[in-house]
Each structure stands twice: as structure tokens, then as C-alpha cells.
Amino acid sequence: MLKPALITAARAGAAEILRFFNGEFKVSNKEGVNNLVTEADHAAEKAILDVIRSAFPDHQVLAEETGEIKQDSTYKWIIDPIDGTVNFAHGIPLNCVSIGIEKEGQMIMGAVYNPHLNEFYFAEKGKGATLNDKPIRVSEETAVIKSCLVTGFPYTYINMPNGPLEIFDRLIRKGVPVRRLGSAAIDLCWVAAGRFDGFYEHKLEAWDSAAGYLMVEEAGGKVTDFTGSPFSVYQHRVLATNGKIHDELLAVINNEIEL
């Protein structure tokens, strides 16, 4: 029953995204610069939570806008109602619903849905990842210099030593294409689908990475933190690749080698 509820919840949130997109809606700013939340974020999150509460009223929830709802359950739904809110607020169709389900501390299922492109990504632990019900796999690229990468920049501490700008600079000066889409969930899914060879970011929250992280692993990729240790959605730094460029890109990120 988890999978039907997850799919229904993702589609319910996406319906709210489409209802508000390119229309008029209230926008406010949370703590920090360009940390937006819109009327649509709240509406999409409510629609998602309504589905979850109806199907599994005892499950825990961690949602970007609502926060954490603790209950006596081994299941936790980790929700980003609109990943890519700045894109959404500017009418850019690179935004999505992202929902991951965790059981006893392990991600077991995830869905990421961009309704603008009609791309529905789904992954289940041990059962692979799909895009619109068709299996997806990571790319076969073996060299960072030939890779197409994607990243995101946090709005805070961007000038930190060996931070986002320094790593970006090292890569693009060697001619490596590095994109910035503005949605970590989409970035991760596009690594899973083989469109990008790798993704790295310095500051993600659990709701940004929960579903996409599982997507990459189930599509045959590798996800770690910046030390190469197994990734947890509760820490900020993430490196997700096809696996074949992982060690080399990790060394570049840590400024241990030059391309």
C-alpha cells in the first residue's frame, strides 16, 4: 500500500503546482537571502499530507514547511512540496514534488514528479528506478574531463575555502561543463537517468535529497558525502555519480588532484 499512496501523494502535490504556476500567488521570504516560500508550497504540502494522513495516519513526517511530526512509527515521509521554489516563483518549469519514505533509518522508496515535463521518477530499495514506468540507468562515462556535471550554490557561505565557487572554478577552467538547474531533486534524478554523469552540492536538507538519493543508487550509481563515506540525508554535503567517475571527482572536489 505504500507505493500507491506515494504516487497519489506526489500527483496531488503536483496538481497544486500546476494550479498556481504562472498565476498570481503570495510569496514570502524565510530566513536568509532568496529563501522563498509561496502560497503554492503550502497548498502542495497540504495536499500531500492529506493523502498520507488518510492512508497512514500513524506515520511520521518531515516536511519542509510543516516541519517534523513525530509519532510512534518506524516509517517517516520526507517531503519537499516544491523543490526549486525560486524557479517556480519566476515561471521556470524546472521544479518538482519530492517525497521519500524512510523505514528504520533507511530510505526505502521515493518519488520525484516534475509535472511541467510530465516526468515521474520512482525508486524502491532493491527494485531499481524508473522514469514514467521505464527503467533508468546511470551513464557509462569514466572520466571527469569528459563528464557533464550539475551542481547547486547555497545562498550562504558561498565563499568558504574550497567551497562551491572554488570547485566550480577548477572544473570549468578545465572545460568541464557544469550546469545549475536550481532543483537538487531534479539534478539527482537526471544523474539517475544518465543525463548528467555527476552532481555535487555543499548544503542540502533531507527533503532535498531523500528521494533523489535513492533514485541514483537504484539506477546503479553511487552517493557519498565529501569524505567518501556513505551518504545520509541528514547531513548537508552530497556527491552523486554514475560510480565510474566517483573517486576522481571526489579527489577534484577535495583539491587532491588536478584535471
User: Catalytic positions, please?
Assistant: 64, 80, 82-83, 85, 208
Q: Rounded to whole angstroms, how far apart are CA atoms 229 and 43?
A: 37
Q: Distance (Å, rounded) from C-alpha 254 to C-alpha 259?
A: 12
DSSP state of 117: T
CA distances from 85 to 58, 64, 92, 107 (A): 29, 12, 9, 24
Whole-angstrom distance, CA of residue 176 vs CA of residue 199: 13
CA separation for the pair 206, 62 (Å, rounded): 8
Are the C-beta atoms of residues 195 and 141 closer than 8 Å to each other?
no
Q: What is the rounded CA–CA span in Å between residue 49 and residue 31?
A: 24
Cα–Cα distance list, 162 to 33, 157, 225, 236, 243 (Å): 22, 11, 15, 15, 23
Nine-digit cell string for 11: 500527483
- Which H or E run includes 128? strand 128-131
